[in-house]
Structure 1
Amino acid sequence: MPRVVLSAFPMIDPETYREVLASAVDEPVEIEVAELGSTERLIEAAANADAVVTDINTPVTEAALEASDLDVVVRSAVGVDNVDVAAAAERGVTVTRVPDYCTEEVATHSVSLLFACLRSLKPYDGAVDDGGWGWEAGEPIRRVSASTIGLLSFGPIAERAAEQLSGFDADLVAYDPFVDADEMAEHGVEKVDFEGLFDRADHVGVYAPLTDATRGIVDADALGRLSEDSVLVNVSRGPVVDADALLDALETDGIKAAGLDVLEEEPPEDDPLVGRDDTLVTPHAAWYSEEAKDDLNRSGAADVAAVLNGETPDGRVDPDADWL
């Protein structure tokens, strides 16, 4: 009987997996829910398992793969930065992800963070809570239509964000070495180089996956190219942005504000970026809607079923992909 281990992570729904696997796999499937969160727990839980459905907090390392006899690792998310994809490929383990389950949600969340920061909603709300009623609490605020908004990476989420921003008459620019200028132009976006993104943009949204090339790419030099009225939004992964450089930019009025759905450490412990008047932090929740949660679990379960049935899953990660 095939054995599938599900992380006891809140976004992973065992009932959906049971429903999908019961209808898609000819033989009975044993499903176990386990507290993961570390390589050691994963090794213990994955013993004699055929499939593991894992979360953001569990490193799927070479050691964990070596100690198991898995057929498939499902990363229940868009990114696979905590999975050693190369080590999995060497051992014949299929890695899958769910690349499009929350495209609309993350794009909408990023635009929401941007406008909340641009319009100084947090300072205004705090001022009113403290008994104030003055427009000055949010100054300076610049007109959106007079601005240039930059997109760091131009995958499906950034594309959707560009569509949502198109009605506000701002100029849109993007940097992505894997997307050509013509494709960006189809979305009303001008392709620029990395330095040009930060030189041209008044505000920047970060959508890049976390890789060796992107870790810390938004550094002090990049942030130093922005203005004191700029807003930085990050809905990708925390370590793509140099947290120390961002804190310095905020403390020295190098930029106006930051909207962050991701942090370097999650959940944070004494993170100086949390609790500031000039930061708006959400708990890695940009993905969430009830519809997205259902799509995530059904797609992940379908990938498990495909592998158990000897088929190629829709969410298979190509170990030779340029963005890894």
Structure 2
Amino acid sequence: MTRPLAVFTDLDDLDPAPGVALLDRAGFDVRIADSADPDAIVRAASDAVALLVGYARVDADLLDRLPHVRILATLSAGYDMVDTDAARARGLWVCNLPDAATEEVAVHALASALSLVRDLPQADAVVRRGGWTTDLPRLPRRTSELTLGLVGMGRIASRLAELAAPIFGRVTAYDPLCPPERWPAAVRRMDLDALLAGSDVLSLHAPLNDATRGLIGRAQLERMPAGSFLVNVARGELVDPAAVLEALDGGHLAGAALDVLPVEPPAPDDPVRTHPGVLLSPHSAFLSDASRRAYVERPAENVIAWHRTGRPLTPVVTPATEGNTH
């Protein structure tokens, strides 16, 4: 009997071995395209029933070239790389990875915020060039007097709010989609304009879609208090990077911590690389020894559950007719 084929597209720095082992034991053959290039994916997956997707763009054209694919499992909580309308129109499942790195991303966001507030990058630079306390560019601010504002109130933002509540004076948030029963009691709910106006530190945790692309631009940054900070551990396209650099140069923003960028990695001459007001990390907020394994095992488990029961564990797109695994 022919074994169904599952294909990993691009892996970035992930080791697929744990996911491959799970799929193999469940009766799948597995190939590694290790590329986001559509032609490379088609060469590897022309007869595949399952795609395990990193950052590769999966659009209608690619799906038309992969007629046997029945399920797309993303190696991330975000699934903006998949054209969900095209998948739905073709009767495909799409599933994501909602909770593999909740702790890691929340802690990374908090660490970034505190690094900005305490001016740790600037303090490090002062000491390395031979200076000391009197050479610091400004006095750090007391966190218990600051408001942390969150854009989004999903798993990560909720965990961040829990971690940050004893440190910051107030935690507020904006999320038009979060139902009241899931809203943390200790977090004040606000509309976006009020959130921006009151946030000394603004941390982004929204998904990327048509409504959120470019959500934070020049006008939104200008609404924030002078001397405020921006943290983005969600998606680079939520933010206009030119507007952030402009706000930093003008002094309205005191600092920005960016784990994600619209183009990754940024070009060698991208000014974000060298701006002294920007704290950068290489899209690593999700990484830990535990999460690195989960990022390949959980998508494999989604595919295996679909194959065995007709339904993946964490679907975000459900075909009109469920239960067909082949």
TM class, shorter-length: over 0.9
8 A Cα contact 1:151 1:175, kept in partner: yes
2:15 counterpart of 1:13: yes
2:54 counterpart of 1:52: no
1:194-241 per-residue CA deviation (whole Å, 9 max, x = no partner) reads 101101111100111110000001111110012332110000001101
8 A Cα contact 1:121 1:138, kept in partner: no
Secondary structure at 1:211 match in 2: coil
Which letter maps to 1:175?
Y
Q: TM-score w.r.t. structure 2 length?
A: 0.92
Q: Which residue of 2 aligns with 1:204?
A: 202
Deviation, 1:310, is: 4.2
8 A Cα contact 1:85 1:319, kept in partner: no
Q: Which residue of 2 aligns with 1:261?
A: 259
Q: Which residue of 2 aligns with 1:247?
A: 245
Give the distance between the partners of 2:301 and 2:313, measured in 1 at CA.
8
2:315 counterpart of 1:316: yes
2:220 counterpart of 1:226: no
Deviation, 1:243, is: 1.2
Secondary structure at 1:285 match in 2: coil
- Equivalent runs, 1:103-118 vs 2, <5 Å: 103-118=102-117
1:40-93 per-residue CA deviation (whole Å, 9 max, x = no partner) reads 33233221111111112x100110111112011111011001101111111122
1:136-164 per-residue CA deviation (whole Å, 9 max, x = no partner) reads 41413211101111000111100000000
Q: Which residue of 1 aligns with 2:324?
A: none
Moved over 6 A (4+): none
Give the distance between the partners of 2:80 and 2:161, measured in 1 at CA.
25
Which letter maps to 1:9?
L
- Equivalent runs, 1:49-198 vs 2, <5 Å: 49-56=48-55, 58-68=56-66, 69-181=68-180, 183-186=182-185, 188-198=186-196
Q: Which residue of 2 aligns with 1:283?
A: 282
Deviation, 1:14, is: 2.9
1:77-128 per-residue CA deviation (whole Å, 9 max, x = no partner) reads 1100110111111112211111000000000000000000111111111111
Which letter maps to 1:203?
V
Q: 1:3 aligns with which of 2, 5, 23?
A: 5
Q: Which residue of 2 aligns with 1:43?
A: 42
Give the distance between the partners of 2:252 and 2:139, measured in 1 at CA.
14
Number of aligned positions between the proteins: 315
Coordinate RMSD, CA, aligned: 1.6
Gaps of 5+ in 2: 320-326
Gaps of 5+ in 1: none
Give the distance between the partners of 2:150 and 2:272, measured in 1 at CA.
22
Deviation, 1:169, is: 4.2
8 A Cα contact 2:92 2:318, kept in partner: no
1:10-40 per-residue CA deviation (whole Å, 9 max, x = no partner) reads 44433212321233x2xx3211111321233
1:261-306 per-residue CA deviation (whole Å, 9 max, x = no partner) reads 0011001102211222111000000000111112222211111112
Which letter maps to 2:6?
V
